[in-house]
Amino acid sequence: MATLLHLDSAVFPQGSTSREVTAAFVTAWREQHPDGQVVYRDLAADPLPHLDATAVAAGAEDALRGQLAAELAAADAVLIGAPMYNFSIPSTLKAWLDQVIIVGHNAGPDSPVAGTPVTVVASRGGSYAPGTPREDFEFVQNYLEKVLTGMLGAEVDFIVPELTLAHSKPEMAELIPLADASRTQAFTEATEKAKALAARLAA
């Protein structure tokens, strides 16, 4: 029985594209792998404390850090909702990363997380794709790929629904068709990736 660790970090519980896409992923996962387990953390509704000197010194011996690290190590796959806020990830997700990554315990060449598939739903209100005017402002995918692969050795894959503000910003009205296409593609990718991953872990 495979375990999926699901993290959401969008501030708003309703109307969040990242939450809607991660929910579609989980639905497809459960349909494909009904005996699997889903461990869920809503980092916005139940935020973790920022890392402090005491927790750093204690490392995995700190109760919270040890619990989070064990939860991550026990996961066969990880799903992260990571909307872009001010060109980067939500502070609540950064707090989780700071707490869960413990040098000498799970960060490094012998990480127990090495090879774990991590799917990140990196939604954003505009577009920061290569070739766009704001390409240099993209610090969500760049950061998460480096920290998750470089420190934990995880296998990272991204789903990127973009232009999510097109329907609410009059100045973006001409981008609505592109926004709708990106949203549709994100849901398709979430369903396909979840089914493929569930089948792979169940094999």
Residue 92 has pLDDT above 90, yes or no: yes
Summarize the confidence of residues 106-116 as an average pLDDT: 93
Mean per-residue pLDDT of the chain: 96
CA–CA distance, 139 with 118 (Å, rounded to integer): 18
Q: What is the pLDDT, as a whole number, of residue 77?
A: 97
| Token pair 């992260």 in the structure block, residue | 80
Cα separations (Å) of 140 from 19, 66, 90, 137?
Answer: 16, 26, 9, 9
91 annotated as ligand-binding: no
66 annotated as ligand-binding: no
Residue 112, both tokens: 């127990």
**Contact between residue 144 and residue 122 where contact means Cβ atoms under 8 Å apart:** yes
19 annotated as ligand-binding: no
104 annotated as ligand-binding: no
Q: What is the pLDDT, as a whole number, of residue 36?
A: 87
Residue 1 has pLDDT above 90, yes or no: no
65 annotated as ligand-binding: no
Model pLDDT for residues 125-168, shown as the tens digit of each residue = 999 999 999 999 999 999 999 999 999 999 999 999 999 999 99
128 annotated as ligand-binding: no
Summarize the confidence of residues 31-57 as an average pLDDT: 95
17 annotated as ligand-binding: yes
18 annotated as ligand-binding: yes
Q: How many residues does the chain have?
A: 203
For residue 143, count other CB atoms closer than 10 A to its CB: 15
25 annotated as ligand-binding: no
Residue 121 has pLDDT above 90, yes or no: yes
16 annotated as ligand-binding: yes
Q: 3-202: what fold?
A: Rossmann fold (3.40.50)
Residue 9, both tokens: 């970090």
**Contact between residue 168 and residue 148 where contact means Cβ atoms under 8 Å apart:** no
Rounded percentage of the chain residues whose pLDDT exceeds 70: 100
Model pLDDT for residues 14-25, shown as the tens digit of each residue = 999 999 999 999
